[in-house]
Structure 1
Amino acid sequence: MVDALTEDERMCGEPPDADSDSLSCLMAQAARGHRVLLAALLAEIDLYPGQDRVLNVLWSNGPMSQNKLAAALGIDMSTMTKSLQRLERSGFVSRTPSPANRRISVVSTTPKGDALRPEVRRVEEELHRRMSDGLTPEQVKTLHALLTVVRRNTCREAAASPLAAPASR
């Protein structure tokens, strides 16, 4: 007799197998669940995943070159260009040539983009609330510390990999 899928397996779209409880599998499922939830919450304010990060960097640092923005986000220029094109079409950012070097685009938020700031904060708070549902504040603090270590370990490995793509080309 085949056991029915658990609620977690149904939600994550993962059939049970011998590896479904491995650390790698759990990390991948949690990351996928996070991305799906984030996408749904951002769609409510007409953003795609990643665009919130672009806006947050601009809100924190002010206008910056497209290259520096891509480097700050750790993404390649083709991904940065696509994201900025969408944000620009929506009226949330603008790109202008740098006065010092007209080949360089300076990215700025627009008033319409700045008006999204409280909504992006609301989405971030709702995402945090849903991700930490059922956890105590101490467990959230521990999870944060553990994920910080995992991120450091995996990013160090990724940076040393010959397959790692540079942030800008």
Structure 2
Amino acid sequence: MAEPLLAEHVDAVTMSGEYDNDLSCLMAQTTRGHRVLLAALLAEIDLYPGQERVVNALAEHGPKSQNALAKILGIDVSTMTKSLQRLERSGFVSRSPCPTNRRISVVEITPAGDALRPEIRRVMREAHRRMTQGLGPEQIDVLSSLLATVRDNLCPEAATCRPT
């Protein structure tokens, strides 16, 4: 029964010209807004979006190969390589050959990267505050639950990113 109601809702929205309230449009605008906000806040501490996740993953999981780190974060290896290059240039991570297989690079957080973690927490708290401004704790819980469901529907592989 849910499918026909959904189709009727989508048809009603597109027929009325209310594209700004269409779920896909809202999702795209929200995602873009979040990325712009996070980019601005992370730039204050010389990071790009996504790099905070790399630093935190290394701090939590210890040294990892680039492939293992990409899998933990649920991102493409080529994306991981670019992110690591920037983080290494900034002195937040170091890469060295694996002692047992020199074709594999092992990535490790540096003291400078570890010292950055309180600033990352501050930035993430500020992003959360701005995103949820005007919402009560129960509304935030509902929003988080709904977004997790949408994420699971769209990206089943995102299970690799979930906290264990």
Query: TM-score, normalising length from structure 2?
Result: 0.84
Look up the match of 1:121: 121
Q: 1:32-52: per-residue Cα shift (whole Å, max 9, x none)?
A: 000000000000000000100
Matched, 1:40 2:40: yes
After TM superposition, the runs of 4+ consecutive aligned structure 1 residues lying more than 4 A away are none
Measure how far apart 1:75 and its partner are.
1.5
Q: Gaps (5+ residues) in structure 2?
A: 1-16, 159-164
SS in 2 for 1:146: helix
SS in 2 for 1:108: strand
Q: 1:44-63: per-residue Cα shift (whole Å, max 9, x none)?
A: 00000010011111111011
CA-based RMSD: 1.6
- Take 2:53 and 2:25, find their aligned partners in 1: how far apart are those partners? 26
- Take 2:18 and 2:145, find their aligned partners in 1: how far apart are those partners? 28
Percent identity between the two aligned chains: 70
Look up the match of 1:86: 86
SS in 2 for 1:116: helix
Query: Which structure shows the higher helix fraction?
Result: 2
The amino acid of 1:55's aligned partner reads V
Measure how far apart 1:157 and its partner are.
8.8
Measure how far apart 1:18 and its partner are.
3.0
- Take 2:140 and 2:24, find their aligned partners in 1: how far apart are those partners? 20
- Take 2:46 and 2:157, find their aligned partners in 1: how far apart are those partners? 35
The amino acid of 1:114's aligned partner reads D
- Take 1:57 and 1:99, find their aligned partners in 2: how far apart are those partners? 22
- Take 1:114 and 1:87, find their aligned partners in 2: how far apart are those partners? 12
Q: Gaps (5+ residues) in structure 1?
A: 1-16, 159-169
- Take 1:130 and 1:100, find their aligned partners in 2: how far apart are those partners? 46
Matched, 1:18 2:15: no
Query: Within 5 Å, which residues of 2 pair with 1:15-164?
Result: 18-156=18-156
The amino acid of 2:63's aligned partner reads P
- Take 1:127 and 1:75, find their aligned partners in 2: how far apart are those partners? 22
